Structure 1
């Protein structure tokens, strides 16, 4: 009710209220939340163009500082998914082909919910800055829908140049508010174009995907003629510059599912897997099915190692009071988080310091992700849960330390079927790359 942005409520809410399927109290609650936010934003304080935010001039929005921030955000959001035979970063070569429906499509970079752009730099423009002899071909007719493709022309170009970068993916015609995809394949003839160009190219090609959601690119993942794969999301008006900088020289925020995942009914939003019915669960915390790429996946041009430097507690005692509950199925004692209270939860906070080292020769900005999981697999518990992430910039051979705060009531609890959060007795593991550290909970 609070976040619906399409036309569903406009079309069906009145009927749902009249049929008593939707309580008026739910409508009132949602309106209260929405108008409270609008009041806090000052939307009823007069003409918005005369208020403080309405007086910001275009030259202030498009300042060098803001453009640099947009560039830095785009750099941090691009994820390297494949780099076989250390193809990347590419040399500033004599000739380059930029092929694909998104190679010179400025609006694709912006995505939706965007204000007027200051100046959009397309991938073609950005890559030409590095390689003057850059040949462009869209490959597809009709944009990313690609109902037909000029494969012969694209193949001839690929045969002539030193390196090929394919910029494929989706745009707002495929996915946006009020428009869901019905499959996880690349649209139209895109996959055929990729396969043909990769087969004809002198060297393995680089594949770049612009998309908001996952795409099943399993064939590209295992194709030796595709040496590098990037996912760039919709990186914004200077995102193409960030992409060119990275190719010449992130981690996934979502799980990428195989195309068969569309068989899971959209009407079934249970988080936990149900082995008896074959339901695989949802999100990285519970999904048990096959993955193209998992949540948090991302490669680097250099190699990193991790270690746990310090953990303030390896045992957490929640047995200050004698009373506790017992799970009838597992016979594991537990306590309700709601009954522990904020003060107890905060007093049990665990400070974790980890070390990360760059073992390569290249400087790199590396995201460090800390997860937790139950040491024993028990039905209903998350497979793992993210505690937090921090990015560190390291020169070759350099080391650094990163700190995290772990809240047991948030990161070591689980939700029961009735929605209540509980902390159970047992062992948990902190996960850092291939390293782990045990923490025991005593009830």
Structure 2
């Protein structure tokens, strides 16, 4: 065959035709590629990419993308995942290394899930790589329902832990992110929940610099967090998502170069007359937010930007800045990346819920537990105990393992199950004993015995209809009689030919009860649910893509048939739940618990709070709780009243608290010999609790927040002035102080090496030796504090400036070193700048804070250091 020789110009032309487009050219910077890609978009296409549900732009090969995802303590709302302790529990570990391990495991599962979703063409909510985690707001008041999502009340502890969590999420590649983390909610945000859409936070400059902003600055400068979520509330008169002052602080002062996302539907508050109401229209609100640096809208307002440009509220060039930031983020997550360029794409799906991750969840739960009291060394209990009574509403409740913003474990272990597994040769019995709080139901699945297919009440069960659409429309594909409604579908569907992630179901029939009384009727659903009683809608669950119990109290008369209709909608998720729940009248809860306790050798109480009472903007119908927040810090009276009666029996008692915020357990602290704080401990919580109670693990957690004795000890919840709140400003004696926690062993501190003086612009190097002087190996949390000798009334009295969790064998000694930088010792002066002044500071090291009026197991060593050399101005 004769060889064809092509002319040179044709060869060149063919070469040019194969030239890689700028946005796909890996030799170009991400900024150059994003700028070019955005230049190809129409105005409408640009605006479409600025909402969390970003549609496909097929002509530019940009796939659909949903920016909304959560991984507060494990991959959330996306099917089976490893569930670690709620964030406040991870804060109680005081362990930076463990935080990084947890985040690495979480991001492994997140990457694996994303690629599995994408392989099936699924790009919806909770299926992307941009995660709205962590919540690093300061838990300044124990009444705040969302405080459980934070790492506690101290900005230094919060910042140090958040840096590690963010690094673990975002990965170690210099070009591509493993995930993108989001620090939220910027900046002064911590309740009350009922006012968050209209509240105007006006912190003093002292509090802004000392408390509300340092940890945000830290995660930007030290962790490189690539996304920040602005808060619902206003800051100094302007909504945070429309506040140029906050954008300037982030970008100009701290060097933030990522993107800002609004909290969900926060920009609606700009023009909502019941909220901030700072603009008249959606167009003005959207323009205001973008001009203030809010690049991405979780909500429905930004589509109005097309009209806003046409009306002159904002220019297309101003929009380009935001769109380019968002495209850079997607490029750095792997959009248009050559095959093999993003190493995280190779993470196998079998990492999800793997044995290693389950063990890590157990280790993390153990580390989060705080031993608050152990009178006469009651703990650990002997495993040879014969009869154990496990009593309390939190003993066997999955809800209190998971907290909120949670995933779904394959094998969760409640405290009851953990104790049963720990004692195979003992008789372990359980009684609820009381409600968590008066008015909160104790839910059970409605039994088949009270459900009937028709009004004749002859056949038990409900008529079930299953549809391939979302609205129970048309003829059902399947009909059958279900005994009751208690379903969990995990990437499966009720029938093979119905899509597992897009179907609906309807159950109809009658309910007839044997006893007249007040019943709670409701359900738990993922995604949407409606419950009708005698054709009246009594419970509606919106399609919000995460399960939650909804209910209503109704009076039912004995032996009367009541018509029931229950509808369920499953919309684009990999995990489906539908449970028809009730609470039937029961006057014997307390009697059952007391009788059980009388027959037992030891009583283990599982009390506390519930995610059904505390959380984000909730409709709570229980006295003492409002909108997800608490009105008091006491343990609900139902629980204390029961414990007082049980205590009179004279049996050994152990109290395990499961809750997301501090509780005033004054009576319990005086009368119950052993108390453990377990938080919302995640999937392995029950095993971890049993390990501590029976001596297979030596606890070392420390409180990340102050437990006050009374709500009147602190200022009003709505007061954002820090005076009188948290250990840094509180002048009274708490029930348990920040940093408090006991061990089964003892530690001794010696050779505290700290200079007597240091120049104000120099780092302070500190060392101390720690020895395990007890009979059990264990971990110690070494804490270093700086306390002002002269309190100026504006700056914190005391600051945590260093901490280290370490393991020590019996008799072992280790040296711990700390480096304290000048900024950690700075005060805010009358000009509102941070300055290190000539003054005397007391440095204290030990297993707790120094406090002469509170008993401490460990000896705390304190030495004075003179700062010299003149005022040193901190340059941010």
Q: TM-score, normalised by structure 1?
A: 0.81
What is residue 342 of structure 1 aligned with on the other side? Answer: none
Matched, 1:156 2:605: no
Partner in structure 1 of residue 392 of structure 2:
100
2:758 is aligned, of 316, 319, 323, to 316
* Residue equivalent to 1:334: none
1:423/1:358 Cα in 2 relative to 1: closer, same or farther (>3 Å)? same
TM-fit CA distance, 1:106: 1.6
What is residue 386 of structure 1 aligned with on the other side?
800
Query: 1:126 — aligned with what?
Result: 418
Please name the residue that 1:242 is paired with: 688
Cα pair 1:80 1:299 within 8 Å, conserved: yes
3-state SS, counterpart of residue 728 of structure 2: helix
- 1:418-441 Cα offsets, whole Å, 9 max, x none, are 542111111111111320122211
**Matched residues in 2 for 1:401 and 1:243: separation?**
30
Return closer, same or farther for 1:58/1:105 CA change in 2, 3 Å cut-off: farther
1:437 paired to 2:850: no
The 1:55/1:84 distance shift into structure 2, 3 A limit, reads same
CA distance in 2, matches of 1:77, 1:222: 24
* Matched positions, count: 400
1:384 shift after superposition: 1.1
In structure 2, distance between residues paired with 1:299 and 1:154: 29
Instruction: Tell me how large the CA RMSD over aligned residues is.
Output: 3.1
Gap regions ≥5 residues in structure 1: 274-280, 319-344
Q: 1:38–1:180: structure 2 CA closer, same or farther, 3 Å change rule?
A: farther
Provide the rounded CA distance (Å) in 2 between the counterparts of 1:83 and 1:429. 30
Instruction: Write the mapping of 1:76-87 to structure 2, written as runs, cut at 5 A.
Output: 76-87=367-378
8 Å CA contact retained: 2:437, 2:637: no
Q: Which residue of 2 aligns with 1:31?
A: 294
Q: Is the 8 A contact 2:372 2:674 kept in 1?
A: yes
Is the counterpart of residue 210 in structure 1 residue 671 in structure 2?
no
Matched, 1:357 2:651: no
Secondary structure class of the residue paired with 2:292: helix
1:13 is matched with 270
Distance of aligned partners of 1:64 and 1:301 in 2 relative to their CA distance in 1, 3 Å threshold: same
The correspondence for 2:430, drawn from 128, 131, 136, is 136
- Whole-Å Cα distance in 2 between the matches of residues 265 and 208 of structure 1? 29
Q: Is residue 697 of structure 2 the alignment partner of residue 282 of structure 1?
A: no
Paired with 1:267 and 1:56, the residues of 2 have a C-alpha distance of 46
Tell me how far 1:114 sits from its aligned partner.
1.5
Shift of 1:314: 3.3
Greater mean alpha carbon deviation, residues 51-60 or residues 93-102: 51-60
State the alpha-carbon separation in 2 of the partners of residues 75 and 55 from structure 1.
Answer: 31
**Deviating more after overlay: 291-300 vs 372-381:** 372-381
CA 1:420–1:189 in structure 2 vs 1: closer, same or farther (change >3 Å)? same
Do the aligned partners of 1:164 and 1:201 also contact (CA within 8 Å) in 2? Answer: no
Could you tell me how far apart the structure 2 residues matched to 1:57 and 1:437 are? Answer: 53
1:340 maps to what in 2? none
Offset from partner CA, 1:88-144 (integer Å, 9 cap, x none): 111111111110111001221111122222321111111012223111111124788
Q: Give the number of the structure whose alpha-carbon radius of gyration is greater.
A: 2
SS for the counterpart of 1:124 is helix
Contact 1:96 1:135 in 2 (8 A): yes
TM-score by length of structure 2 reads 0.43
The answer (yes or no) to whether the contact 2:437–2:638 under 8 Å persists in 1 is: no
Alpha-carbon distance, 1:149 to partner: 7.2
Pairwise CA distance, 1:393: 1.3
The DSSP-based 3-state class of the residue aligned with 1:155 is helix
CA contact (8 A) 1:206 1:229 kept: yes
- Could you say what secondary structure the match of 1:356 adopts? strand
